[in-house]
Amino acid sequence: MRHTLPIAPQFYVTAPQPCPYLEGRTERKLFTALQGDHAGKLNDSLSKQGFRRSQNVLYRPSCAECAACLSARIRVDDFKMSRSQRRVLNRNSDIVRDATSPWATEEQYDLFRSYLDTRHADGGMADMDIFEFAAMIEETPVRSRLVEYAIEDQGQRDLAAVCLTDVLDDGLSMVYSFYQSDQPRRSFGTYVILDHIRIAQEAGLPYVYLGYWVPGSEKMDYKSKFSALDIYYRGAWTPMKDAAAFRTDTHPLSADPIAEQVASIHLPDSLPTGG
């Protein structure tokens, strides 16, 4: 007798743990497995609803007393560079981009460790070893690319930044990026985003997904400095005109109950329900 496993995604919630962005708060995540032949369609659909990918999991913040983590994306056609962003491009005119299949190297890991030690020494990835790093880069059930940025000078190559990027049906999702943090004038983090906007323009893709913007968090504030920014706010993408307008979402009554959050998730019409 043949048995088939249910394919419709099941959603779960993590146990509360300290929030990495806002002091004194706890975080929970709503998540589902990303696997099978329809992983790409599920990733496309849930990314449009504020979810992010980590290896073979899609997750979205689902905190009991806070809704400050807001998914952000740039509308590529409407984006206008600021003067400071143009200066970033000019300062990095010697950068060479190389997009490859997601494959981890020791050179990448060395840059990753340096980045964590400098900027996120107390974060959840601080103890990640090279094997866990390789899993983060290589374990992807969807269409992903690893974009490397290097400074090339007289035959010498210096890896400056790396970004793991998913290719969605409506844009590029910057899953995780890291870079040299000892050259602040270079602003490598900003440069990588600007270059992804350029890649999306060349590919005719309308959006670049940046991950979560958290009002009140210095670590995440840089995302609000990009023009043509949409925020996934209360179930819909909303153009961000005033960053201060979103700060009320740290209020204890701003988060919907878990059951309501799950019930409001839309799945792709072509996704099998199993049998």
Q: Would you state the pLDDT for residue 81?
A: 97
Q: Does any domain span residue 273? A: no
What is the total count of domains within the chain? Answer: 1
CA distances 138 to 4, 36, 131, 145, Å, are: 28, 16, 10, 10
CA 265 to chain centre: 19
Q: Would you state the pLDDT for residue 65?
A: 80
The domain that holds 251 is classified in CATH as 3.40.630.30
Give 158's strand partners: 151
Q: What is the pLDDT along the chain (275 residues), one digit of tens a residue?
A: 444 445 578 999 999 998 888 888 889 999 999 988 899 999 999 999 999 999 999 999 988 788 888 999 999 999 999 999 999 999 999 999 999 999 999 999 999 999 988 876 566 677 889 999 999 999 999 999 999 999 988 778 999 999 999 999 999 999 999 999 888 899 999 999 999 999 999 999 999 999 999 887 777 888 989 999 999 988 899 999 887 777 656 666 666 777 788 888 988 876 655 44
Q: Would you state the pLDDT for residue 46?
A: 97
Take residue 188 and report the two structure tokens written for it.
């490598």
Short-list 180, 167, 264, 265, CA closest to 209? 167
- State the Cα–Cα distance between residues 124 and 120, nearest whole angstrom: 8
CA atoms within 13 A on the CB side of 100: 11
- State the Cα–Cα distance between residues 261 and 27, nearest whole angstrom: 16
Domain around 58: 12-263
Q: Does any domain span residue 272? A: no
Q: Would you state the pLDDT for residue 119?
A: 76
Q: Does any domain span residue 270? A: no
DSSP code of residue 10? P
Q: Does any domain span residue 268? A: no
Q: Does any domain span residue 186? A: yes
Q: How much is the pTM?
A: 0.90
- Tell me how far apart the terminal alpha carbons of the chain are, to the nearest angstrom: 13
